[in-house]
Amino acid sequence: MELFNNTGKVALITGGGSGIGKTAAEALSESGATVALVGRTLQKVEDAAADIQQKTGGTVKGYQGDVTKTEDLQRFVRAVYDDLGSIDILVNNAGTLAPGTIDSLSEEEWDQVMDTNAKSIFFTTQAVVPYMKEQDYGRVINTASVAGDISLSFSSVYGTSKAAAIHQTKQLSLELAPYNITVNAISPWFFQTDMNESELADDSFRSAVENRTPMKRLGQLEELKTSYLFFASAGSSYVSGQNVFVDGALTVYGL
């Protein structure tokens, strides 16, 4: 279990105020890491930090930041480093969704999704990498999606942004391998979060998701913890450039 003990490590998680980001933060805090949560609303990440800290007994702090603004992400990355002394683990989890197809999607919606889900991965990682290089150690985990590998009928841009996240995982793993920095991705299917709450409130949509999934159910957020823990820890030291589907067998469904 020492291979999955992150005591003494510092993890920075974007989009950490709820859902998958908060779940990943809880897993890393449970493994001993000091955790910095970043989100656009300071109160939300501070509340999440307090909740996780109460559950795990670890050190968890909240920071305000907008990953779509490169000046802002440079600021919060530096603030986390100055406050906590290092950044060993980066979870690029900030994400958004814009339902809409080629007939209805606006340029503004396209840009917002691409900036949040794809562009931010590159520039947040770029801001963190100098600290990881300095210590000759780093773990980068990108939250992608099964939509980066298969098509969704209700969004032209979401899958495109997540496909970009998956390819960046491969590209950055190649570039950063000489510095003992691994880069991997996790691609969930439907887990109930704030982002998809309204869609899943529609009984017909929820039933369609469950019926399409071989396991016939949504994922439970707790079921994501071990994937983030694995990629964040020393136990995955020779694994890089990989994308793991956590999807109830959805992506292997043929007929």
Which candidate in 158, 179, 228, 253 is catalytic?
158
In whole angstroms, give the CA distance from residue 218 to residue 213: 8
Interior/surface letters 86-109, b for 16+ CB within 10 angstroms, e for the rest: bbbbbbbbbbbbbebeeeebeeeb
Backbone CA torsion sign across 44, 47, 52, 53: positive
Token couple for 61: 């702090």
Which H or E element spans position 56?
Answer: helix 42-56
Beta strands 10-14 and 34-39 are: parallel
**Phi, psi for 232 (deg, rounded to 5):** -85, -10
In whole angstroms, give the CA distance from residue 245 to residue 253: 13
Whether 131 is a known active-site residue: answer no
Active site residues: 158
